Amino acid sequence: MVQQDKRLMDLRKDIKRKRPSFRRVESWRYVRVKDPWRKARGIDSQTRMKTKSGVRSPGKGYRAPKKVRGIHPSGFEEVRVETIKEIENLNNKKHALKISSNLGAKKRMALIDYSKRRGFKILNIGISQREIDQLEAQLETSIAALEDDEYLEDED
* Model pTM score: 0.62
CA distance 73 to 52: 33
CA distance 104 to 94: 26
CA distance 108 to 126: 8
State the Cα torsion 4-9-12-14 to the nearest 10°.
-100
**How many CB atoms are closer than 10 A to CB 127?**
16
Per-residue pLDDT of the chain (156 residues; tens, 9 = 90+): 566 788 999 999 999 999 999 999 999 999 999 999 999 999 999 999 999 988 899 999 999 999 998 899 888 999 999 999 999 999 999 999 999 988 888 898 889 889 989 999 998 876 666 777 787 888 888 877 777 665 555 555
